[in-house]
Amino acid sequence: MQPMTTEQIRALIARGKLKDTLFQAIGILCLGIGLLVIFLLVGDMLMRGMERLNIEFFTEFASRRASQSGILSAWVGTLLVMLVTAAAAVPLGVAAGIYLEEYAKRNWVTDIIEINITNLAAVPSIVYGLLALGIFVYTFGFGQSILSAGLTLALLILPIVIVATREAIRSIPAMIREGSMAVGATRWQTCRYHIIPYAMPGILTGVIIGLARAIGETAPIITIGALTFIAFLPPAPFAPTGMDGATAGMFDWVMSPFTVMPIQIFNWTSRPDPAFEVNAAAAGFVLMGMVLSMNAVAIWLRYRMRKNIKW
Amino acid sequence: MQTHDSPQLKAEARDFNFFYGQAQALKKINMPIYDKKVTALIGPSGCGKSTYLRSFNRMHDLYPGNRYEGEIRFYPDNTNLLSPEVDPIEVRMRVGMVFQKPNPFPKTIYENVAYGLRVRGENNKRVLDEKVENALRGAAIWEEVKDRLQDLAPNLSGGQQQRLCIARALATDPELLLFDEPTSALDPIATGAIEELVHELKKRVTILIVTHNMQQAARVSDYTAYMYLGEMVEFGKTDEIFIKPKDKRTEDYITGRMG
C-alpha cells in the first residue's frame, strides 16, 4: 500500500470527525427527549398542585372537602411502611447475597436459585399482593396493617437487594479476599472485616433504589387492603392510649391500619370533584420529592463511603 | 543431596501432583525447603511455580475443582499440609504469604498489620501496638509510617504497600513466608528494598520466593529450583545452579536461550 499523503490523512480524519459530531448530536437529542418528558411531568404536577402545597397540606388528614384535605396519614404511613420494608429486606437480602457469593458452591442448585432470583424481580407486583394477602394478612393474622404492607414490599424488593449485594461483592478484587484468607481468616471473618464493609456503598445504593421502587407501589398495597381514608395516625411508641393511663407498646404501630401516598393519590384522582385533582397533583409532587431525595441520599452516601475504599 | 552441612528441613514436597480440574499442573514434585533459608522458584511463565507456591498455604482450596495428590511435609511436627484432615486455616496461620501485586486492605496502616492478630482473637491494645510496631520494623517501613499509622494504606506508594503487606504477614510470626513475584509490580528502587528485606528476614523465617527475574533469584536465594512444564527440573544451591547447572534445560533457561 502506498503511504498516504498529508491531504489524504486529513481528509480521513475529517470524515471520521464528522461521524463523531453526528453521533454526539443524536445522543444529546435522545438524552434531551428523556429529560424533557420528566421535567414536563414534574413541572405540570407542580403547576397544578402548587396552590395546595402549604404546611397544612402536610399536617391535615384527608377530608371530604378538597381544599381542607392533607396528606398527613399518607406520608406518615409511607414512611412507616418503608421503615418496615427496609428492616425486613436489608438483612434478608444482604445475607442471601453474601451467602450466594461467598459460601454457596457453584452447582446446578445455585444455578436454579440464581435464575429464580432474576425471575422474582420480574414478577408483577400485584402477584406479590395476592401472595401477601394469603400469607401475611390471613395465615399469619397480621391483618391490613403496616406490618403486612412492609413485608409485602420487602418481598418485592428482595431480588433487587440481593442482586445489588452480589454485584457489590463481585466488584471487590479477588486479591483482597485472598489477602484476608492468607493470614488465616475464616470466611466469616473475611466477610465481617472486608466483604461487608467494602460492599456497603453498593448495597446501600441497591437498597435505596429498591425502596424508591417500593414507595410508589400501589397495587400490592391495595390488594392487601390498605384503607383509602384514614383520619388518625398509628400509635406512637409509649403514647397514652386512653384515660386509664395505658400507653402504646414500642411496636404497636406496626399493627395499625394505614394509608400510603400512592393510594391517597389514586383515591383523589378517582373523585368526581375536579378540586381533588389539585390535591392529587400536589401529592404526586410530594411523592416525587420523596423519591428524588432518597436517590440524593443514595448518591451522597455512596460518594462518602467510596472515598475511603480503593484498591 | 542431604550432606552433613545441609541445614534442617522446614518442609518437603513428596511426589506432589496438582490438578486444576482434569488438567495436571504439577507433576511429581520432590523438593526440600531448608529452615531459615531463601529458596527461589524460577522457570518460564506457566511452568507452575506460582501454582506450587500457592499450595503451601492451601490457597487453591478457595476455588472449586482443584485437587492435590502427594504430600508437603511440614517440620518439626511432620504435618502433611495437603492432608484433607488438616484445616487450610491452620496451614495459613503458620504459613504467611505476600502477593504479586501489593494488596493492602482499604483500611488504616495500623489495621492492615493488626488484622492477622485480630483474626487470632487478639484485642488487647497494648499487645497489638507492640506487635504492629515490631512487624513494621521487621518489614523496614516503621520509620516511614510511624507518624501516620491511622492513614489509609492504599495511599502509600507501591513499594511501601508491598512492605506493608510483608509486615502484615510478619505480624503473626509465620514459620514459612511465601513470596509470589513480590517485586514484579515495583520500580527498581522499591525492588532493591524488598530484596534487602528478604535477605534480612531469613534470619527469622524460612522463605520461598517465586521470581521471573533470574538476577533476583541469584541475589536473594540460597537454594534455587528450576521448574518447567509443571516439573521440577533441577534443585540445588543457588550458586551451583547458576554456575554449573546439571540439566540442559536449566542451562538454556538461565543463559537466556529460552524463556
**Using a CB-CB distance cutoff of 8 angstroms, which residues of chain A are in contact with residue B121?**
none
In degrees to the nearest 10, what's the CA dihedral of A183, A187, A192, A197? 90
Q: How many A-B residue pairs are in contact by the CB < 8 A criterion?
A: 68
Q: For chain A, give every domain's residue range.
A: 75-228
Please give the DSSP secondary-structure letter assigned to residue A103. Answer: I
Of the pLDDT bands very low, low, confident and very high (cuts 50, 70, 90), residue A239 is confident
- The DSSP symbol for A194 reads I
> Half-sphere exposure of A56 toward its Cβ, with a 13 Å CA cutoff?
9
* B13 conformational bin, left if phi > 0, alpha if psi -120 to 50, beta if neither: beta
Q: B94 CA to chain A: closest CA distance, Å?
A: 8
Does A185 contact B at CB distance below 8 Å?
A: yes
Nearest to B92 among A106, A177, A183 (CB): A183
Is B169 in Cβ contact with A184 (below 8 Å)? no
Q: Which of A183, A192, A195 to mutate to test the interface with B (most CBs of B within 10 A)?
A: A183
Q: Which CATH number fits domain B9-254: 3.40.50.300, 3.50.50.60, 3.40.50.720, 3.40.50.11540?
A: 3.40.50.300
pLDDT over threshold 80, residue A1:
no
Question: CA of B169 to nearest chain A CA: how many angstroms apart?
Answer: 7
Tell me whether residue B205 is exposed, middle or buried, using C-beta atoms within 10 angstroms of its C-beta: 0 to 12, 13 to 18, 19 or more.
Answer: buried
B59/A178 Cβ within 8 A: yes
Contact status of B158 with chain A (Cβ, < 8 Å): no
Residues in chain B with CB shorter than 8 Å from the CB of A172 are none
Tell me the mean pLDDT in the region A37-62. Answer: 90
The grid coordinates listed for B100 are 504479586
Look up the CATH number of domain A75-228: 1.10.3720.10
Say what the ipTM of the complex is. Answer: 0.90
Q: Which residues of A touch B57 (CB under 8 A)?
A: 182
- Residue-wise pLDDT for A129-182, tens only, equals 999 999 999 999 999 999 999 999 999 999 999 999 999 999 999 999 999 999
* Residue A125 near residue A132 (C-beta atoms within 8 A): no
CA distance A202 to B210: 36
pLDDT digits (tens, 9 = 90+) for A248-295: 788 888 898 899 999 999 999 988 888 899 999 999 999 999 999 998
